[in-house]
Structure 1
Amino acid sequence: MRLQVVTAVTALAATSACQSRWSRDVDYKALSKMFSSSVKIYYPGSGNFEGASSRWSNLDISTVNIVVVPSTENDVVETVKFADKKKLPFLAYNSAHGAITTLGKMTRGIEIYMDQLSRVDVTKDGKTVTIAGGTKSKLVTDTLWNAGKQTVAGACECASYLSPGLGGGHGWLQGRHGLIADQFESMNIVVAKGTLATINSSPELWWAAKGPGHNFGIVTSVTSEIFDIEHKDWAIKIITFKGDKVEELYDAANKHLLKNGTQPADVISRSYWFNDPDADASNKASRPSTPPILPPSTPWTPSLSKRREAATPTSPNRKKAYEFFAENIRGSSVFNNWLVTFDGYSMQGVQSIGAKSTAFAFRDQNIPIGPLITYMPGGAELDDKAAKLGKQLRQILDEGSGREHAPAYVNYAFGDEGPK
């Protein structure tokens, strides 16, 4: 542990020195003159720089040399124009949840931290809401609820509203209304040269923004459809099972609860594989925790729809995947906090929208799957071992699906899947 800390501190010191030298080589005074009065700028070594530039994952992290915290859409415009003029890389941060390994390609440049662009404005007619680009999901749901309204938002309150939405965006209400992106009616977006545009149903960019939308610009605000609250009451039930029930559990769930993706629109079922050593002191294998769901077609996919039997992982296949997972998290394994999530959202609203109407590619599938391997930093060798384990699990599950390629939900992607 002492060696790890010393290594980390040394690396941080070297990075900070590099950041400081690079920052001094660029004249930011010209940029700061273009900003609104409420903009914030953080430099390496300043009190807020680390907090604003840290991500929730330390794997293949981005390296930035200055943080700009815009308070208006024009602040984003001016930052992008400056970066383009100076040929500097730039990257928007929005609640710091991004974990795809390709973010590590950002080795220097400007971070645009969206935290101050937080606003939820319900229109007078109560049909739409305008949400600023950095707004967290909790503020969206709370504000709308207080107004007697709701819309599709992500399941995690600490994530932003837009980050999952630009990838399509699964959410609790999707069985009624579709994905987060399906609610979008217009958006303001800053594209690569620093132009602010308002787009809606006409341009190709509008089609493209709803699915792989993170790739085409920085969305500073979006106007989305909202709905009257129909049901104010809800309930949740959590049941925990030991690993020897994995086959029986999922078979029962398929037959009686989810019925191959046709569960009622208001029923959401999520399943987790995780390690709970207190559940059985003599056997520290993982315990799947349910509400149970359909077995996956393949990890990293956004779902698995009205499936052909050939695309369904066999029971032996599911058992093999679970046993591989359990074997690698037992006892004192550095990976014993590994979590595998299976999100059984209802799909009626998603599948009622034409597949070609947006760039989101997976309306015919049901289960987003996320193998999340959490461990303490231990160097490149340990990172490689973790990645290998994740890929092996993904391969085991995919072998039973009959597919040549594993479709990747962009919000859950690892970074090695390729554009197709």
Structure 2
Amino acid sequence: MSQFKWVIAALSASFAAVASLDIPALSPRGAELLPQANYTELAEQLSNTASIYWPGSETFEDIVARWSNLSVPVANIVVVPGTEEDVVQIVNFANEHSAPFLATNGFHGSIATLGEMSDGIEIYLSQLNTVEISQDGKTAKIGGGIRARNLTDALWAAGKQTVTGACECVGYLGPGLGGGHGWLQGHHGLISDQYLSFNVVLANGSLVTIDETSDLFWGMKGAGHNFGIVTSVTSKIYDLEYPNYAIDTIFFSGDKVEEVYQVSNELWITNGTAPVGLNSWSYWYFDPTIDAEKEGVDIVDPIHTEPFHQLGPIKNEPKSGDYRDLATWTGISLADGPCQKTGNANPRFPIYLKSYNPQAQKQVYELFREATTGPNAHFANSLFMFEGYSQQGVKAFPDDASAFAYRSDNLLVAPLLIYSPGEELNQEAYKLGHQIRQVLFEGSGMTTMDTYVNYAYGDETPANWYGSDSWRQERLAALKEKYDPDGKFSFYAPIA
């Protein structure tokens, strides 16, 4: 690999060393079915807009198909609720029959812990996708099944916007329950920082509203998938202030790795001079590019791009448009590969960093290059993501504001290894991903392996996902014991 893609997007725990490289056991699809239950009885309790799908039907197979086919959850039946009350009925039915259940909205959750669900009911929230804007235009009640692009479009039509995940096909709630990064976080904070209240179906089947008066409100914003099914959320929204954006895509050869990340440190990270509207992204992959995006302008200010142009890039491609173009520019729109179900395995090995270590960047570049080029490269279609979102809005909240623990970290880094799953390649990917992450960790000077739970591989610890401070772990454990003592919500990065 002789090139990599550097994206300059300008828009307005304790560490546990890997003692063994044996991959965790993965659960294949096709486990034993649940004992026959009276699903006719359940259907009679649901609204007339709800649906039930069985294995073998085209709809069932489409719903249960995942973006990553590594350690997938196994469902014996899919129930699509039409109302929030339907979710109550489904959970109570599951509890009565001792059936595991898993709420989904889309197909991107790829953490290996999902494979612990070897049978059960999938509760697919896609129909809970409404957006109701308040009369004062400052908040919106948003259904738990809405996707990022649908929410963006609905708010845009009303001259509004809010922080969503950058990828168009991911849900709004899923990323937010783990904190949630997005283009507008420099202005307003994380996705979860926008939440004012949740309608949640708890493990006991009750539908409750959780707001700042509840002890659970803190835990829902960063570890929310451990406590219930969010059927709707009331969120802050904002006037559409910066509709137009610009991007500059700059292509570099691989021998520029150290120089590019040194310049990035000096410009924005080490000196803390990144403006609120600037997000810097870079991708590594075979024949990549570089993008730079700036809000409220039609061309990126050369002050942000000229230092990179002086390094001698292969080429650059400036573009202008509006906020809705960002996903296309960065390769994460509905039409792009990350929004397709290909049958591949797509594990990620994320780590947060304070700044780039140029020497470590060079070292992991060589590891990645060797694995993705050449006639025997098993991971040729993989990519390496370096996400540098603006941080002002995130750091405006105190560190203890929510269960999300990593407000002081500046960069989200993750190799994404794409391959056709099989035991040998699963082992190879596991070894490579952990080797890359270990190099970055050792080069970071940090004492904890801070890990973004929404990208996690799945063998990390709760301290990696939710912060290693003892008070955080104790607070989360107490909430889990109070609201989900039987661990019904433990298939996604469980607290314990």
Query: In the alignment, which residue of structure 1 is the partner of 2:184?
Result: 173
One-letter code of the match for 1:361?
Answer: A
Is 1:324 equivalent to 2:367 in the alignment? yes
Equivalent residue of 1:368, what SS?
Answer: strand
1:202, distance to aligned residue in structure 2 (A): 1.5
Query: In the alignment, which residue of structure 1 is the partner of 2:401?
Result: 357
Number of residue-to-residue matches in the alignment: 382
Among residues 181, 201, 211, which one is paired with 2:222 in the alignment?
Answer: 211
* CA distance 1:232–1:259, shift in 2 (3 Å): farther
Query: In the alignment, which residue of structure 2 is the partner of 1:85?
Result: 96
1:304, distance to aligned residue in structure 2 (A): 3.4
Per-residue CA distance 1:9-44 (angstroms, 9 max, x = gap): xx87xx28x44xx46x22211211110011010001
Query: In the alignment, which residue of structure 1 is the partner of 2:145?
Result: 134
Is 1:101 equivalent to 2:112 in the alignment? yes
Contact 2:247/2:291, CA 8 A, preserved across alignment: no
Q: How does 1:182-261 map to 2 (within 5 A)?
A: 182-261=193-272
Among residues 439, 444, 448, which one is paired with 1:396 in the alignment?
Answer: 439
Query: In the alignment, which residue of structure 1 is the partner of 2:379?
Result: 335
Task: Give the whole-Å Cα distance in 2 for the aligned partners of 1:261 and 1:373.
Answer: 31
Task: Give the whole-Å Cα distance in 1 for the aligned partners of 2:253 and 2:225.
Answer: 39
Query: In the alignment, which residue of structure 2 is the partner of 1:304?
Result: 353
Equivalent residue of 2:62, what SS?
Answer: helix
Query: In the alignment, which residue of structure 1 is the partner of 2:65?
Result: 54
Contact 1:304/1:364, CA 8 A, preserved across alignment: no
Task: Give the whole-Å Cα distance in 2 for the aligned partners of 1:368 and 1:261.
Answer: 16
Task: Give the whole-Å Cα distance in 2 for the aligned partners of 1:362 and 1:387.
Answer: 25
Task: Give the whole-Å Cα distance in 1 for the aligned partners of 2:147 and 2:454.
Answer: 16
One-letter code of the match for 1:321?
Answer: V
Contact 1:299/1:406, CA 8 A, preserved across alignment: no
One-letter code of the match for 1:327?
Answer: E
Contact 2:349/2:416, CA 8 A, preserved across alignment: no
Contact 1:267/1:345, CA 8 A, preserved across alignment: yes
One-letter code of the match for 2:256?
Answer: K
Among residues 366, 375, 383, which one is paired with 2:419 in the alignment?
Answer: 375
Contact 1:262/1:346, CA 8 A, preserved across alignment: no
1:289, distance to aligned residue in structure 2 (A): 4.0
Specify every segment of 5 or more residues in structure 2 that has no aligned partner in the other structure, as ranges: 1-27, 293-303, 306-347, 464-496
Q: How does 1:275-290 map to 2 (within 5 A)?
A: 275-276=286-287, 289=290
Task: Give the whole-Å Cα distance in 2 for the aligned partners of 1:142 and 1:258.
Answer: 32
Contact 2:80/2:125, CA 8 A, preserved across alignment: yes
1:129, distance to aligned residue in structure 2 (A): 0.6
Query: In the alignment, which residue of structure 2 is the partner of 1:3?
Result: none
Relative contact order higher in (CA < 8 Å, ≥ 6 apart): 2
Contact 2:269/2:410, CA 8 A, preserved across alignment: no
Per-residue CA distance 1:146-177 (angstroms, 9 max, x = gap): 11111111101111111111111111111011
TM-score by length of structure 1 reads 0.87
Per-residue CA distance 1:341-393 (angstroms, 9 max, x = gap): 0111000000001111111100001111121100123x212111111110110
One-letter code of the match for 1:399?
Answer: E
Per-residue CA distance 1:92-118 (angstroms, 9 max, x = gap): 111111000000000000000011111
Query: In the alignment, which residue of structure 1 is the partner of 2:276?
Result: 265
Is 1:407 equivalent to 2:462 in the alignment? no
Contact 1:93/1:113, CA 8 A, preserved across alignment: yes
Query: In the alignment, which residue of structure 2 is the partner of 1:27?
Result: 38
Q: How does 1:61-80 map to 2 (within 5 A)?
A: 61-80=72-91
Is 1:148 equivalent to 2:159 in the alignment? yes
1:259, distance to aligned residue in structure 2 (A): 4.8
1:47, distance to aligned residue in structure 2 (A): 2.3
One-letter code of the match for 2:362?
Answer: K
* CA distance 1:288–1:322, shift in 2 (3 Å): farther
Task: Give the whole-Å Cα distance in 1 for the aligned partners of 2:161 and 2:270.
Answer: 28
Equivalent residue of 1:165, what SS?
Answer: helix
Contact 1:355/1:361, CA 8 A, preserved across alignment: yes
* CA distance 1:288–1:247, shift in 2 (3 Å): farther
One-letter code of the match for 1:353?
Answer: F
Contact 2:349/2:433, CA 8 A, preserved across alignment: no
* CA distance 1:338–1:260, shift in 2 (3 Å): farther
Point out 4+ residue stretches in structure 1 off by more than 3 angstroms. 257-262, 287-293
Equivalent residue of 2:415, what SS?
Answer: strand
TM-score by length of structure 2 reads 0.74
1:290, distance to aligned residue in structure 2 (A): 5.1
Is 1:366 equivalent to 2:410 in the alignment? yes
Task: Give the whole-Å Cα distance in 2 for the aligned partners of 1:151 and 1:411.
Answer: 19
Query: In the alignment, which residue of structure 1 is the partner of 2:481?
Result: none
Task: Give the whole-Å Cα distance in 2 for the aligned partners of 1:262 and 1:89.
Answer: 49
1:262, distance to aligned residue in structure 2 (A): 3.7
Aligned-residue CA RMSD (Å): 1.9
1:140, distance to aligned residue in structure 2 (A): 1.0
One-letter code of the match for 1:322?
Answer: Y
Among residues 454, 457, 460, which one is paired with 1:417 in the alignment?
Answer: 460
Query: In the alignment, which residue of structure 1 is the partner of 2:488?
Result: none
One-letter code of the match for 1:339?
Answer: L
Percentage of pairs with the same residue: 49
